[in-house]
C-alpha cells in the first residue's frame, strides 16, 4: 500500500499544493517553519482523520480560510482508491472513498495504517500514562474497528458517570439507581479494551525488546509491561469497591482509563533513570515495534513518517535506524530534514527509487 499523490487545499500553511510521490521514499527539505512537518501531518490526517499533533480540526485550516481539503490516491493490492477528506468551520468532518462518503469514521480508520516518529514524541516515554494509552488506542484502533467502537462507547459512559458524580456532590444528593444504570453498561466495552490491550502488549513486548537491543547495541535490559487494575478484578467489582472514593473524588478512580504501559530500564522506571540517549532509543524501539505489529496485523506495511529525526538523534542512532529500515520490508517512507546535504548523503545508501522535495513557505 502506498500514497501515489496528494493534494492539499488550505491545510495549515499550504494554499494549494499537489504532489506526485515515490512509492518508496519521499524526502522533504527546507528551512525551519516552511511546512515540512505540516506535509507529514497531512499524510497522517489522510490515513487517520486526525492530526498527529493532537490539534483540533479547526486549527488545521489555513489562517483566514474557512475550510481545508486533503485528497490522496492510495494504491493497494486491491486497486487504487481516491480518498478525500474535508473539514469546514462549524461542520462535521467528511471522508470519502471514490466519491462515496463514509457514514462512520470507524469504518475508515485502519484502511491505510500509518506510524509517525516525531521529535515531540519523547512525551510518550517521559509524560504521564495518558500518552501511553493514546499510543495503545491509536495502534489498536487501526488494528480493529471493534476496538475503536468499544473505546468510544466506554469513553462516553465514563464521561456520563463522572458528570453524575460531580452533580451528586454539587447537589449533595445521591441516587444509586442512576449510577447503577451506567455501571451496568461499562463492563462490556471495558472488557474488550482490557483483552485487546493485554493481547497486544504480550506480542508487543518481545518486539520492543528486540528493537531496543538492535538500536542501543544491547547494553541494558528494557521492558514494557501492561498495567491494568482489571488484571485483578472485573470492572463491575472495581466500580463497586471504589464507590465511596469515587463520590469523594467526583470522578471514576479505576478502570481502563487508568491503564498504563510501564516502561522499565534495568527494572527501574525509564523516565526517572534513563539518559537522553536511552530515552531516544526507547522511543525509536516503541515506534518500530508499533510499526512491525501493525504490519503483521494488517498484512501490509504501514506508511512511515519520520519527522526531523536527523536533528534530534545522534548520528549513530540515525544510521542504525536507517539500516533497520532498509534491512526490513518497510513500505512507503516520508522523511523531513532541514539539511539537504545530510539527507542526500544518508538517502544515497538507500537502494531504490526516491524523491527529494524542497519546501519553501507552504509551497513545494
Q: Which of 17, 22, 37, 252 binds ligand ATP (CB under 6 A)?
A: 37
Q: Which of 102, 338, 357, 363 binds ligand ATP (CB under 6 A)?
A: 338
Please, what is the minimum distance in Å from the beta carbon of residue 344 to Mg ion? 18
Closer to Mg ion by Cβ: residue 53 or 155: 53
Distances (CA, A) of 87 to 46, 76, 94: 12, 25, 6
Q: Which of 15, 33, 128, 277 binds ligand ATP (CB under 6 A)?
A: 33
Residue number with the shortest CB distance to Mg ion?
A: 37
Does residue number 54 form part of the binding site for ligand ATP (CB under 6 A)? no
Question: What CA–CA distance (Å, rounded) separates 6 from 42?
Answer: 9
Cell numbers for 80: 487504487
Closest by Cα among 333, 346, 323, 279 to 120: 279
3-state secondary structure of 334: strand
Does residue number 12 form part of the binding site for ligand ATP (CB under 6 A)? yes
Closer to Mg ion by Cβ: residue 38 or 252: 38
Residues facing 304 on adjacent strands:
115, 333
Closer to Mg ion by Cβ: residue 42 or 224: 42
Closer to Mg ion by Cβ: residue 10 or 36: 36
Q: Which of 34, 124, 222, 335 binds ligand ATP (CB under 6 A)?
A: 34
Measured on CA atoms in the order 228, 232, 236, 241, is the torsion positive or negative?
A: negative
Helices (H), the chain: 36-48, 122-126, 129-143, 145-171, 176-185, 187-216, 235-241, 243-249, 270-273, 276-298, 309-312, 315-327, 340-347
Q: Which of 118, 308, 310, 335 binds ligand ATP (CB under 6 A)?
A: 308
Please, what is the minimum distance in Å from the beta carbon of residue 63 to ligand ATP? 4
Stretch that binds ligand ATP, among 36-44, 72-80, 131-139, 160-168 (CB under 6 A): 36-44
Each residue 237-266 as x (binds ligand ATP by CB under 6 A) or -, in order, gives ------------------------------
Does residue number 51 form part of the binding site for ligand ATP (CB under 6 A)? no
Cell numbers for 311: 536533528
Q: Give ∠ CA 220-224-226 in degrees, rounded to 5.
A: 160
Does residue number 37 form part of the binding site for Mg ion (CB under 5 A)? yes
Closest by Cα among 21, 34, 5 to 340: 34
Report the interface residues with ligand ATP, using CB under 6 A: 12-13, 30, 32-38, 59, 61-63, 308, 338, 359
Report the interface residues with Mg ion, using CB under 5 A: 36-37
Amino acid at each position: 500500500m502506498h500514497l501515489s499523490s496528494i493534494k492539499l487545499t488550505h491545510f495549515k500553511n499550504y494554499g494549494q499544493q499537489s504532489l506526485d510521490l515515490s512509492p518508496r521514499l519521499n524526502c522533504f527539505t527546507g528551512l525551519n517553519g516552511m511546512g515540512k512537518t505540516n506535509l507529514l501531518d497531512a499524510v497522517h490526517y489522510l490515513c487517520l482523520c486526525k492530526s498527529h499533533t493532537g490539534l483540533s480540526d479547526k486549527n488545521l485550516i489555513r489562517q483566514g480560510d474557512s475550510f481545508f481539503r486533503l485528497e490522496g490516491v492510495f494504491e493497494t493490492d486491491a486497486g487504487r482508491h481516491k480518498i478525500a477528506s474535508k473539514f469546514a468551520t462549524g461542520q462535521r468532518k467528511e471522508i470519502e472513498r471514490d466519491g462515496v462518503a463514509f457514514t462512520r469514521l470507524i469504518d475508515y480508520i485502519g484502511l491505510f495504517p500509518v506510524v509517525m516518529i516525531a521529535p515531540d514524541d519523547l512525551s510518550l516515554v517521559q509524560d504521564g500514562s495518558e500518552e501511553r494509552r493514546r499510543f495503545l488506542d491509536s495502534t489498536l484502533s487501526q488494528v480493529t474497528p471493534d476496538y475503536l467502537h468499544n473505546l468510544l462507547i466506554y469513553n462516553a459512559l465514563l464521561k456520563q458517570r463522572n458528570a453524575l458524580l460531580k452533580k451528586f456532590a454539587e447537589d449533595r444528593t445521591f441516587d444509586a439507581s442512576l449510577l447503577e444504570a451506567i455501571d451496568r453498561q461499562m463492563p462490556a466495552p471495558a472488557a474488550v479494551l482490557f483483552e485487546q490491550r493485554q493481547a497486544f502488549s504480550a506480542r508487543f513486548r518481545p518486539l520492543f525488546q528486540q528493537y531496543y537491543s538492535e538500536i542501543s547495541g544491547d547494553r541494558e535490559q528494557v521492558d514494557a509491561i501492561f498495567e491494568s487494575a482489571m488484571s485483578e478484578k472485573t470492572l463491575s467489582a472495581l466500580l463497586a469497591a471504589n464507590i465511596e472514593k469515587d463520590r469523594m473524588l467526583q470522578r471514576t478512580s479505576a478502570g481502563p482509563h487508568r491503564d498504563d504501559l510501564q516502561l522499565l530500564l534495568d527494572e527501574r522506571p525509564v523516565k526517572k533513570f534513563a539518559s537522553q540517549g536511552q530515552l531516544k532509543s526507547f522511543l525509536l524501539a516503541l515506534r518500530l515495534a508499533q510499526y512491525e505489529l501493525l504490519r503483521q496485523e494488517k498484512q501490509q506495511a504501514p506508511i512511515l513518517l519520520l519527522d526531523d529525526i536527523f536533528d534530534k538523534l545522534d548520528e549513530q542512532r540515525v544510521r542504525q535506524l536507517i539500516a533497520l529500515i532498509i534491512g526490513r520490508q518497510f513500505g512507503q517512507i516520508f522523511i523531513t530534514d532541514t539539511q539537504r546535504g545530510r539527507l542526500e548523503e544518508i538517502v544515497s545508501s538507500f537502494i531504490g527509487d526516491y524523491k527529494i522535495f524542497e519546501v519553501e513557505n507552504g509551497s513545494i
